[in-house]
With several copies, the nearest count.
Chain A
């Protein structure tokens, strides 16, 4: 997950950097799986396979989630640099 170089710009120590990366990974992993399942896989279980439509939807969902994550990171970094956010 990219923080828009948030870490470097605010000069946090490397171990905080680690911990940030670790936690980010954990939260995003759970959130993206749950979110895209809800968006793309309807809870009618005709069989145990992902069909074509579901598979394509998941691919796009991950790409869009990734894009939103980047955007939010850049936005928060920009606001932090302007001192608007504590």
Chain B
């Protein structure tokens, strides 16, 4: 996210927004996690209780998806920092 065009007040509003966002993001992660792991792990409807095989699969799926989300967030932040650095250098160069 390139915030270089924003004023100080906008930046602080953006920070407040980001905190509020974290709760939203948690809920979205939660709902997506349930939906994806259900889709990938539960395909037997001859019983109404999770089998131990399905249970194991859900556990691994949750662990994997959380690690994946964290890794994506980390890399995305790095790419973004790199981009801002490049833009600042460009601005320096053009002055």
Contact = CB atoms under 8 A, between A and B. Distances in A.
Decide whether A and B are members of one complex: yes
Interface of B: 1-3, 5-7, 10, 13-14, 17, 21, 23-25, 27-28, 30-43, 45-50, 54-69, 71-72, 75-76, 79-80, 83, 87
Nearest to B78: A62
Given A24-B27, A31-B31, A32-B72, A85 B66 contact: yes
Contacts, number: 173
Nearest to B36: A37
Contacts of A60: 45-48
B34 A14 contact: no
Given A34-B32, A36-B68, A75 B62 contact: yes
A37 B65 contact: yes
Given A19-B23, A27-B28, A68-B50, 13 more contacts: A1-B1, A20-B23, A38-B39, A43-B40, A48-B59, A59-B71, A60-B45, A63-B75, A64-B42, A64-B48, A66-B80, A70-B83, A71-B55
A46 B91 CA distance: 38
Contacts of B42: 39, 61, 64-65, 68
Contacts of B71: 50, 55, 58-59
Interface string A17-37: 111111111111111111111
Contacts of B5: 5, 7-8, 17
9 contacts: A2-B2, A18-B10, A22-B21, A28-B34, A35-B38, A58-B72, A64-B49, A72-B30, A76-B30
